[in-house]
Amino acid sequence: MSKKLLIILSTLCTLLFFTSFSSTAKAQKTYQIGTDVTYPPFEFANKDNQYVGIDIDILKAIAKAENFKVEIKPVGFNAAVQSLQSGQLDGIMAGMAITDERKVKFDFSKPYYKTGFVMAVAKDSSIKSLEQLRGKRVALKTGTAAAEYALSLKDKYGFSTVTFDDSDNMYNDVVTGNSVACFEDDPVMQYAIKTGTKLKIVTKPARGGYYGFAVAKGKNQELLQKFNAGLAKIKQNGEYAKIKARYLSTKTVSQQKEAKTDSANERTFWGLLKQNREALLKGLGETLYLTIVAIFFATIFGVIVGLLGILPNKFAQGLSTTIIYIFRGLPLLVLALFIYNGIPSLTGVKIPAFIAGVITLMLNEGAYTAAFVKGGIEAVDKGQMEAARSLGLPFGKAMQKVILPQGLRLMVPSFINQFIITLKDTSILSIIGILELTQTGKIIIARNLEGFKVWTIIALIYLIVITLLTWLSNYVQKKMN
């Protein structure tokens, strides 16, 4: 009897263990959600460089209510849309208006916020209506519903447009007078003005729309159901109302404005550097790490392709020339988007942003490396090879003992210069969401709108690093000479 009881107890314990394990595993499920992080008050980074905002807080509250986790990917709105289509992301939460055009490609949650589009102009502007835009330029943000609304009015009111990837640059284009107006979602524009942007709204909210959480068409339906269920829960328990009030109430915004006035010293160059030093150092670290890894693989790739170009074989030479031609000819931005979004959409296999960045730089910078490896070897007098072969050395031995040592002397400074070029090219990879120095700057600016000061700080950081590398290049060149 005791033996049977022991077996029963053991079975129950096993069942309880696996049930508990299954429940824990379910709770640990993490979804990768793309967002803008430069779109306050819906998504931005606070002074502690933590992602906050109406969208972020709603998403986190829903995830808590529905027992799942989210990993925020700050890739920017346009890149997030492309990444969701290619399967790199599970969903988008980025102030995304629900439109008929978008419903063709995406499945939306129930609406979580109602909005409308407004036109804003510089504070001292005399423009008060759409009719006054004829013959003038208007600034828009790429891929937004507000931009689509403005484009629908373009022919009627006879204005031209210019697009930007983030709100701060769009606002500054109007403030500086390059454009006479911009179009933005009403709550976003109101928040920007109340927190210091020198613009004013001159039209009433038009074409009211709704924001929704989006997943790729026919995919991640479980996540969509969890979002809808969680949204209903936080509306019922009052959490939704608290989140909206946190960012949109008059009292909250005035308190934020007052806090900005009280901390004026934090908005100086030194104050901004001190306040954001951890984020800037992290961004710089990511930039240097990406550069080192990329240049390592680019050097290997470039040397192999370059050596193929000098082999006494027409196929090898043609292959080398073709590779160099293709990857030097493709713009780095296009190559990055093709690798990060294009390939996964064809294969169905996700490529992490960092890996996609390394591959992009390896192919692009490697092609340039191959060109100067090939050129360095070809610069060695042909008589050197002929002399080595006449002494009985085979081609490989002659290349190793005679040609390469002379060619290497010509190539080393170019290798260091390529390192500098690669360091600068990492800034382009912010388009696929790599949180390097440039992307870090965008996130900081979205919070404080101090574009000139922040970009000056980032420019100085780049100049310091590049100056040190230039000194190293000159030192090596001098030693080799």
Secondary structure in 3-state letters for 300-344: HHHHHHHHHCCCCCHHHHHHHHHHHHHHHHCCHHHHHHHHHHHHH
Residues 196 and 222 occupy one common structural domain: no
Q: Is residue 357 part of a domain?
A: yes
Residues 196 and 86 occupy one common structural domain: no
Residues 118 and 108 occupy one common structural domain: no
Q: Is residue 55 part of a domain?
A: yes
Q: In the chain, how many domains are there?
A: 3
Q: Taking all residues of the chain, what is their mean pLDDT, rounded to a whole number? A: 81
Q: Is residue 337 part of a domain?
A: yes
**Domain's final residue, options 255, 287, 317:** 255
Residues 184 and 234 occupy one common structural domain: no
Which range has the worst mean pLDDT, 319-323, 347-351, 376-380, 414-418? Answer: 376-380
CATH code, domain carrying 283: 1.10.3720.10
Q: For 419-432, write each residue's pLDDT tens digit.
A: 888 888 888 888 78
Quick one: which of 171, 195, 175 has its CA closest to 184?
171
Span 374-390, average pLDDT: 63
Please give the share of the chain, as a percent, with pLDDT higher than 90: 29
Residues 341 and 411 occupy one common structural domain: yes
Residues 77 and 137 occupy one common structural domain: no
Span 345-360, average pLDDT: 86
Q: Is residue 328 part of a domain?
A: yes
Q: Is residue 262 part of a domain?
A: no
As a three-state string, the secondary structure of 196-240 is: CCCEEECCCCEEEEEECCEEECCCCHHHHHHHHHHHHHHHHCCHH
Span 237-243, average pLDDT: 91
Q: For 394-419, write each residue's pLDDT tens digit.
A: 666 666 655 666 656 666 667 777 88
Cβ-based neighbour number of residue 404 at 10 Å: 17
Residues 125 and 196 occupy one common structural domain: yes
Q: How confident is the model at residue 45 (pLDDT cuts 50, 70, 90)?
A: confident
Q: Is residue 20 part of a domain?
A: no
Span 431-458, average pLDDT: 80
Residues 372 and 306 occupy one common structural domain: yes
Cβ proximity of 367 and 327 under 8 Å: yes
Q: Is residue 166 part of a domain?
A: yes
Residues 372 and 448 occupy one common structural domain: yes
Cβ-based neighbour number of residue 173 at 10 Å: 20
Q: d(Cα 140, Cα 157) in Å, to the nearest integer? A: 16
Q: Which domain holds residue 127?
A: 114-209
Residues 245 and 299 occupy one common structural domain: no
**Domain's final residue, options 221, 255, 289:** 255
Residues 334 and 447 occupy one common structural domain: yes
Quick one: which of 142, 186, 188 has its CA closest to 161?
142
Q: What's the first-to-final CA gap in the chain, in angstroms?
A: 92
Q: Is residue 431 part of a domain?
A: yes
Residues 76 and 224 occupy one common structural domain: yes
CATH code, domain carrying 81: 3.40.190.10
Q: For 88-143, write each residue's pLDDT tens digit.
A: 889 999 888 888 888 988 999 999 998 889 999 999 999 999 999 999 999 998 87
Quick one: which of 351, 231, 381, 361 has its CA closest to 287?
361
Q: For 49-71, write each residue's pLDDT tens digit.
A: 778 889 999 999 999 999 999 98
